[in-house]
Amino acid sequence: MKNIALRIRYDGAAYHGWQKQKNLPTVQETLENALTRVCGHPVKVTGCGRTDAGVHAERYCVNFQSDCRVPLERLPLAVNTLLPVNIVVQDACPAPEEFCAIRSCIQKEYTYRILNTRIRDPFLAGRVCFYPAPLDLERMRAAGEAFVGTHDFAAVRSVGTETKTTVRTVKWCDTALEDGLITIRVCADGFLYNMARAIVGTMVYAAHGKISPEEIPALLEKGDRRLTGPTMPPQGLAMTRLWYPGEVGEMMKR
């Protein structure tokens, strides 16, 4: 059996997240069904992480074991003929035997987009969080920078997924504004459940003066989810970049 890695992309609006669930449409189940038909045997894929209902992925990595005879360069086209329009396989490559899409990932980047205008844009519906109230961009930027570094991020995660530790390292949390669209990029060596959306919610609270950016280190020390900002809606969030060693890493850059 070969270990095969895929780079995929999906709009998560129609799905109840990445992970397979009983009687609910998910990205994982939809992809596995298509791969099973192409490969001629049951396929189980391992994804690079869980995305919640309504969250998107501009870049996402999976791996699976198969003796599929379809050449790797033709596999994306073959699978895409069986996938709905909101999921696409962009590339495929061989992976080392020990490669695992989630355990082998070095770091990930999520991007959250807020349309901060008085009037909503129908062409961005489902892809951004529409937020018409004015936001102080400089306070947001300062709040985002306060999350950078190695911290216990229990204060910005939702209960629901057990982990050995809630300590993570945030490499950057950058904020930019263009034509009313606020773009927040958060990169870390790993993310807790709803961590990215809670970080952005805390930044929004800071923009309204409900939390001071200087308070954030102390709030992280306390580890109390009730003291930080809300979990923002899923529509504005997308997984945007992934880092891996070797050939898989090169594929994810393309």
The answer to whether 109 and 49 have CB atoms below 8 angstroms apart is no
Of these residues, 52, 67, 121, 152, which one is catalytic? Answer: 52
List b or e across 221-231, with b for residues whose CB sees 16 or more CB atoms inside 10 angstroms.
Answer: eebebeebbeb
Burial class (CB in 10 A: 0-12, 13-18, 19+), 122: exposed
Cβ neighbours, 10 Å, residue 121: 13
The answer to whether 240 and 110 have CB atoms below 8 angstroms apart is yes
Q: How far apart are CA 32 and CA 169, in angstroms?
A: 32
The answer to whether 75 and 89 have CB atoms below 8 angstroms apart is yes
Write the single-letter amino acid at 137: L
Distance of CA 222 to the CA centre of its chain: 26
Q: Is 52 a catalytic residue?
A: yes
Q: How far apart are CA 78 and CA 72, in angstroms?
A: 10
What pairing do the DSSP bridges indicate for beta strands 181-188 and 87-94?
A: unpaired
* 88, containing H or E segment: strand 87-94
Looking at the annotation, which residues are catalytic?
Answer: 52
